[in-house]
Structure 1
Amino acid sequence: MYLKPSIHKRCFPTLQESVLHLCPVVAKSGNVDICPYKDNCRFSHNVEAFNAEKPDDLEGSCPFLGDEAPCPYGLACRYSGTHCNDVRAETLDVKKKGSEVNGLKKDVQKLLWKNKMRFPKADAKLKLLGLLGQNLKTKTVADKEEGCQNVSNGSSSCDKNGRCEEPDDSTSRINLPGDSMGAIDCSLEVAEKDVDIDTTSADGERRPLKKPKSLANESCSPFEETNGTSLQKKSVEKSCSQSELVTVTDNVLTETESSMKLHPREKKLIDFREKLYLAPLTTVGNLPFRRVCKVLGADVTCGEMAMCTNLLQGQASEWALLRRHSSEDLFGVQICGAYPDTVARTVELIEQECTFDFIDINMGCPIDIVVNKGGGSALLTKPMRMKNVIQVASGTTDKPITVKVRTGYFEGRNRIDSLITDIGQWGASAVTIHGRSRQQRYSKLADWEYIYQCARKVPDALDVLGNGDVFSYLDWNKHKSDCPKLSTCMIARGALVKPWIFTEIKEQRHWDISSGERLNIFKDYVHFGLQHWGSDAKGVETTRHFLLEWLSYTCRYVPVGLLDIIPQRLNWRPPSYFGRDDLETLMSSDSSADWVRISEMLLGKVPAGFTFTPKHKSNAYDRAENG
Structure 2
Amino acid sequence: MSLTRSNGEAPVKAEYRLPIERAPAPDDDAAEASCPSNAPCPEGSNVDGEPPQKKPRVSGAQRKKQAREAHQAKKERGANKGRRFAKVREDGEICWKVACGETCGGSDCRFTHNIPDYLATKPDDIFFPLTSSIVTEPPFVNVTDTATISCPVFLERGKCDHGYKCRFLSGHISPPLEEGGAPALVRDDALSKEKEGLREANFITNDTLKKLRTKKFPTPLADAYIQELSVKNNAPAEASAEEPPATSTEQAEPTGPESTVHANGPMPEMLSAEIHQEDVDAPDVAMRPSEKKRLRWEGLNYLAPLTTVGNLPFRRLCSTLGAQITCSEMSLATSLLTGSKEEWSLVRRHPIERIYGVQVAGNKPATLARAAEVLQQTLGYGPRGGGNSGGIDFVDLNCGCPIDLVFRTGAGSALLDATNKLGNIIMGMNRGLGEIPLTIKVRTGVKEGKNTAHKLMERLDGWNVGAVTIHGRTRQQRYTKLADWGYIKQCVDTLRASVTDDDLPPIPIFGGGDVYSSEQYWSNVEQTGVDGIMLGRGALIKPWIFTEINERREWDISSRERLELIRKYAEFGLSHWGTDTVGVNTTRRYLCEALSFQYRYIPIGLLETLPGQINDRAPAYRGRDELETLLASPDSRDWVKISEMFLGPCPDGWTFTPKHKSNSYSSEEANG
What is the TM-score when the length of structure 2 is the normalising length? 0.69
For 1:197, the equivalent position in structure 2 comes to none
The superposition leaves residues 111-139 of structure 1 with CA deviations (integer Å, 9 ceiling, x where unpaired) of 1111222211111122233379999878x
The superposition leaves residues 234-290 of structure 1 with CA deviations (integer Å, 9 ceiling, x where unpaired) of xxxxxxxxxxxxxxxxxxx99994896531344221111100111111111111111
- Specify the SS of the correspondent of 1:605: coil
Please give the residue correspondences for 1:561-580 in structure 2 after superposition, counting only pairs within 5 Å.
561-580=605-624
For 1:74, the equivalent position in structure 2 comes to 163
- Specify the SS of the correspondent of 2:359: strand
Distance 1:435 1:260 in 2: 37
Matched, 1:614 2:658: yes
For 1:372, the equivalent position in structure 2 comes to 408
Distance 1:508 1:324 in 2: 28
Of 346, 360, 376, the residue aligned with 2:396 is: 360
Tell me if structure 2 keeps the 8 A contact 1:473–1:509. yes
Tell me if structure 2 keeps the 8 A contact 1:530–1:539. yes
Distance 1:112 1:266 in 2: 29
Distance 2:231 2:630 in 1: 56
Letter in 1 for 2:483: A
Distance 2:282 2:104 in 1: 52
Distance 2:662 2:294 in 1: 33
Matched, 1:26 2:98: yes
Offset at 1:448? 0.7
Where does the alignment leave 5 or more consecutive residues of structure 1 unmatched? 1-14, 139-175, 187-252, 620-627
- 1:444–1:396 Cα change, 3 Å: same
Tell me if structure 2 keeps the 8 A contact 1:265–1:429. no
- 1:98–1:25 Cα change, 3 Å: farther
The superposition leaves residues 334-393 of structure 1 with CA deviations (integer Å, 9 ceiling, x where unpaired) of 111110111111111111111100111001111211112111011111111111111111
Tell me if structure 1 keeps the 8 A contact 2:220–2:283. no
Offset at 1:181? 2.2
- 1:135–1:590 Cα change, 3 Å: farther
Offset at 1:451? 0.6
Compare relative contact order (CA 8 Å, sep 6+) and give the higher one, 1 or 2.
2
Distance 1:134 1:473 in 2: 53
For 2:557, the equivalent position in structure 1 comes to 513
Tell me if structure 2 keeps the 8 A contact 1:306–1:335. yes
Distance 1:18 1:67 in 2: 25
The superposition leaves residues 206-259 of structure 1 with CA deviations (integer Å, 9 ceiling, x where unpaired) of xxxxxxxxxxxxxxxxxxxxxxxxxxxxxxxxxxxxxxxxxxxxxxx9999489
- 1:111–1:271 Cα change, 3 Å: same
- Size of the alignment, in residue pairs? 495
Of 200, 203, 220, the residue aligned with 1:120 is: 220
Tell me if structure 2 keeps the 8 A contact 1:291–1:528. yes
Matched, 1:181 2:249: no
Letter in 2 for 1:382: A
Of 512, 517, 535, the residue aligned with 1:467 is: 512
The superposition leaves residues 553-592 of structure 1 with CA deviations (integer Å, 9 ceiling, x where unpaired) of 0011000110012111111111121001111111111111
Please give the residue correspondences for 1:436-515 in structure 2 after superposition, counting only pairs within 5 Å.
436-459=473-496, 461-484=506-529, 486-515=530-559
The superposition leaves residues 444-502 of structure 1 with CA deviations (integer Å, 9 ceiling, x where unpaired) of 21111111111101135322110111110111111111122x11111111010001111
Distance 1:280 1:68 in 2: 28
Please give the residue correspondences for 1:218-237 in structure 2 after superposition, counting only pairs within 5 Å.
none
Distance 2:303 2:412 in 1: 19
- 1:107–1:591 Cα change, 3 Å: same
Tell me if structure 2 keeps the 8 A contact 1:28–1:74. yes
Of 555, 575, 597, the residue aligned with 2:641 is: 597
Offset at 1:46? 3.7
Please give the residue correspondences for 1:402-417 in structure 2 after superposition, counting only pairs within 5 Å.
402-417=439-454
For 1:4, the equivalent position in structure 2 comes to none
For 2:589, the equivalent position in structure 1 comes to 545
- Specify the SS of the correspondent of 1:407: strand
Distance 1:115 1:258 in 2: 20
- 1:575–1:255 Cα change, 3 Å: closer
Tell me if structure 1 keeps the 8 A contact 2:172–2:186. no
Tell me if structure 1 keeps the 8 A contact 2:358–2:395. yes
For 1:431, the equivalent position in structure 2 comes to 468
Distance 1:390 1:134 in 2: 20
Distance 1:279 1:295 in 2: 16
Of 290, 309, 313, the residue aligned with 2:334 is: 309
Letter in 2 for 1:105: T
Tell me if structure 2 keeps the 8 A contact 1:526–1:543. yes
Query: Identity percentage over the alignment?
Result: 44
Where does the alignment leave 5 or more consecutive residues of structure 2 unmatched? 1-86, 129-149, 175-183, 250-277, 380-390, 500-505, 664-672
Distance 2:157 2:518 in 1: 41
Offset at 1:182? 3.7
Offset at 1:24? 1.1
Letter in 2 for 1:282: T
- 1:117–1:565 Cα change, 3 Å: same
For 2:123, the equivalent position in structure 1 comes to 55
For 2:371, the equivalent position in structure 1 comes to 346
- 1:84–1:516 Cα change, 3 Å: same
Letter in 2 for 1:74: G
For 1:287, the equivalent position in structure 2 comes to 312
- 1:184–1:48 Cα change, 3 Å: closer
Distance 1:509 1:89 in 2: 43
For 1:235, the equivalent position in structure 2 comes to none
Distance 2:247 2:572 in 1: 43
Letter in 1 for 2:528: C
Distance 1:576 1:134 in 2: 64
For 2:64, the equivalent position in structure 1 comes to none
Offset at 1:47? 2.7
- 1:529–1:21 Cα change, 3 Å: same
Tell me if structure 1 keeps the 8 A contact 2:439–2:467. yes
Offset at 1:542? 0.4
Offset at 1:87? 4.3
What value does the CA root-mean-square deviation take over the aligned residues?
A: 3.0
